[in-house]
């Protein structure tokens, strides 16, 4: 049987008494303005109706001030006994608590302290909060509780509200930008029969109706490129992806990914397009292209420099991947130099490309401030990318790196079906040898390619990681509204 605190019991008693005389949870309230809109109305504007959650009450006898809140704004309301009438004013004092919802109608004025306020001539009770909000100056101090009870975090923490508003705006602006440039947004399957589109360990599930095992997608790439085959030359998707890998301050197993593809572009075209897109969006949201991130002034303006994969690895490890050009040579050198790679898969089972990638992530990426473009990835690291015309050992690929975080990955797509089949067969060989991040063979995709593909360049952006970066969040969970958490013991019981 559930037990309640003294405060909760008092509120439940109030609810019972309220329900005897009026509807405690009415079905609607017609507002004329949002709280944000009301806060900029001219003094003397009448018949203004707003609604919100009460987060502050100051009672001064026959006059009380309330603060209403929603995601966008706080707004002050005054209750005067002689305007509301004694019965309604007494009801307010007796039954309404911080956390409750009210609708209020009245006239706009400005207090002597300069705060826009609604002078109420009537109000309607819209809902009782049975649990009290955290104390004003304490809020939610436990980070884990913030993740578990994001709704309270959003109510009580202005920094959290601001961070999520920036996330909402980022996604809205990126859609507006792509749509205005002729892109179509489509939806692709989350349940798939082939683990492909990126090098990652998948989640496995079972489809009962079809009696088949399925994967949760690690990326929408292969279906978006099928859409290009179908004639959709500019296409994108924003959706959830799932990778059954390690969890840390910059990685989650389920995350929001945006992938974008354009026919007749190469990777250099997309590097320019992405720079212009992100510069536009950052300026729209922040009003500047110079942001303070982790105490560093990072300037997103102008051209972004390019650095090769080989040069960065050499600079920070003295390992030349052109010399250590096989898995066996590179693995021996990594062990000789006592470099500990952060891989869930034993490094002995990694393919050459993944071994290089983990080496780069360990020794070089943490030192990059950026924004920079990382280019000239080894072909073995890029089984879906087009091989460079002048150097068969590197792919036409790039990554955007900012403050040690990879936020965009893109390349000129491999559109030759015979070559793609060979590369996926090699991935399958690596998978059978124990590399859990290697891709599956996808003959349906190969079949789509065989109907003909134009030149294509595509790229993916991790929305969560980008917002974490731009808003200076310590943990990626800070920008995910409801991150997955281990169930609490009492909930299990």
Q: Per-residue pLDDT tens for 413-464? A: 999 999 999 988 888 888 888 877 777 788 899 999 999 999 999 999 999 9
pLDDT above 50 (res 323): yes
Distance, in Å, from the CA atom of 176 to the CA atom of 170, rounded to the nearest integer, reads: 10
Kindly report, residue by residue over 467-491, the tens digit of the pLDDT: 999 999 999 999 999 999 888 765 5
pLDDT above 80 (res 465): yes
Which residues are within 8 A (CB) of 363 and not within 5 positions of it... i.e. 6 or more apart? 313, 316, 317, 339
Peptide bond into 371 cis (omega under 30): yes
Q: Which of 216, 173, 180, 179 is nearest to 198 (CA)?
A: 216
Kindly report, residue by residue over 221-280, the tens digit of the pLDDT: 999 999 999 999 999 999 999 999 888 888 899 999 999 999 999 999 999 999 999 999
Give residue 142's pLDDT: 76
Give residue 428's pLDDT: 85
Model pTM? Answer: 0.88
Interhelix angle 463-470/267-286, nearest 10 degrees: 50
The mean pLDDT of 392-416, rounded to a whole number, is 93
CA distance from start to end of the chain: 12
- SS3 at position 180: helix
Distance, in Å, from the CA atom of 174 to the CA atom of 167, rounded to the nearest integer, reads: 11
Kindly report, residue by residue over 225-237, the tens digit of the pLDDT: 999 999 999 999 9
Residue 340 exposed, middle or buried by CB count within 10 Å (0-12, 13-18, 19+): exposed
Which residues are within 8 A (CB) of 393 and not within 5 positions of it... i.e. 6 or more apart? 322, 325, 378, 379
Distance, in Å, from the CA atom of 221 to the CA atom of 203, rounded to the nearest integer, reads: 17
Determine which helix (DSSP H) or strand (DSSP E) holds 360, and give its type and residue range: helix 352-363
Give residue 341's pLDDT: 85
Give residue 345's pLDDT: 74
pLDDT above 90 (res 203): yes
Distance, in Å, from the CA atom of 132 to the CA atom of 436, rounded to the nearest integer, reads: 48
Cβ neighbours of 88 (radius 10 Å): 18
Distance, in Å, from the CA atom of 349 to the CA atom of 123, rounded to the nearest integer, reads: 68
Distance, in Å, from the CA atom of 289 to the CA atom of 326, rounded to the nearest integer, reads: 42
pLDDT above 70 (res 293): yes
Q: Which of 140-144, 173-177, 443-447 is the most confident on average?
A: 173-177
Structural tokens at position 437: 């991040």
Output the average pLDDT for the chain.
92
pLDDT above 50 (res 137): no
Residue 128 exposed, middle or buried by CB count within 10 Å (0-12, 13-18, 19+): buried
Structural tokens at position 441: 């063979």
Name which residue leads in pLDDT, 315 or 30. 30
- SS3 at position 332: helix
Q: Which residues pair with 76 in a beta bridge?
A: 67, 117
- 162 in Cβ contact with 466 (< 8 Å): no
Which residues are within 8 A (CB) of 217 and not within 5 positions of it... i.e. 6 or more apart? 188, 189, 190, 191, 192, 197, 241, 242
C-alpha 87, offset from chain centre: 48
Number of H helices and number of E strands within the chain?
Answer: 16, 18
């Amino acid at each position: 049987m559930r037990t309640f605190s003294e405060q909760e019991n008092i509120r439940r008693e109030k609810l019972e008494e309220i329900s005897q005389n009026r509807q405690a949870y009415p079905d609607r309230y017609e507002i004329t303005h949002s709280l944000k809109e009301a806060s900029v109305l001219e003094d003397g504007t009448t018949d203004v109706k707003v609604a919100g959650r009460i987060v502050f009450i100051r009672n001064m006898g026959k006059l009380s001030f309330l603060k209403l809140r929603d995601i966008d704004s706080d707004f002050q309301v005054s209750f005067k006994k002689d305007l509301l009438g004694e019965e309604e004013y007494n009801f307010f004092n007796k039954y309404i608590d911080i956390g409750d919802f009210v609708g209020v109608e009245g006239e706009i004025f400005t207090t002597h302290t300069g705060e826009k306020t609604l002078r109420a001539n009537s109000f309607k009770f819209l809902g009782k909060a049975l649990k009290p909000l955290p104390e004003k100056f304490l809020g939610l101090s436990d980070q884990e509780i913030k993740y578990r009870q994001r709704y309270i975090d959003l109510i009580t923490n202005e920094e959290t509200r601001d961070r999520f508003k920036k996330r909402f705006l980022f996604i809205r602006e990126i859609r507006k930008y792509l749509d205005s440039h002729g892109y179509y947004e489509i939806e692709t399957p989350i349940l798939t029969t082939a683990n492909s589109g990126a090098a990652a360990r998948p989640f496995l599930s079972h489809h009962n109706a079809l009696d088949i095992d399925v994967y949760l997608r690690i990326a929408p790439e292969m279906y978006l490129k099928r859409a290009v085959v179908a004639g959709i030359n500019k296409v994108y998707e924003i959706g959830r992806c799932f990778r059954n890998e390690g969890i840390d301050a910059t990685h989650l197993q389920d995350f929001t990914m945006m992938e974008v593809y354009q026919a007749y572009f190469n990777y250099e075209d997309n590097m320019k397009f992405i720079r212009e897109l992100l510069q536009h969006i950052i300026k729209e949201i922040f009003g500047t292209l110079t942001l303070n991130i982790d105490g560093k002034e990072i300037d997103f303006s102008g051209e972004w420099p390019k650095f090769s994969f080989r040069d960065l690895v050499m600079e920070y490890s003295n390992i030349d991947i052109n010399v250590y050009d096989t898995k066996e040579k590179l693995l021996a050198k990594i062990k000789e130099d006592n470099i500990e790679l952060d891989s869930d898969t034993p490094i002995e089972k990694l393919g050459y490309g993944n071994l290089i990638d983990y080496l780069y992530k360990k020794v070089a990426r943490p030192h990059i401030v950026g924004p920079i473009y990382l280019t000239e990835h080894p072909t073995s690291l890029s089984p879906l990318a087009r091989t460079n015309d002048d150097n068969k050992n590197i792919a036409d690929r790039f990554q955007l790196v900012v403050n040690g975080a990879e936020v965009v990955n893109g390349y000129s797509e491999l559109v030759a079906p015979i070559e793609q089949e060979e590369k996926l067969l090699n991935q399958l060989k690596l998978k059978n040898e124990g590399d859990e991040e290697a891709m599956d063979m996808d003959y349906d995709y190969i079949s789509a390619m065989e109907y003909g593909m134009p030149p294509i360049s595509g790229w993916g952006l991790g929305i969560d990681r980008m917002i974490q970066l731009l808003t200076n969040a310590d943990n990626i969970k800070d920008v995910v509204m409801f991150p997955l958490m281990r169930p609490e013991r009492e909930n299990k019981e």
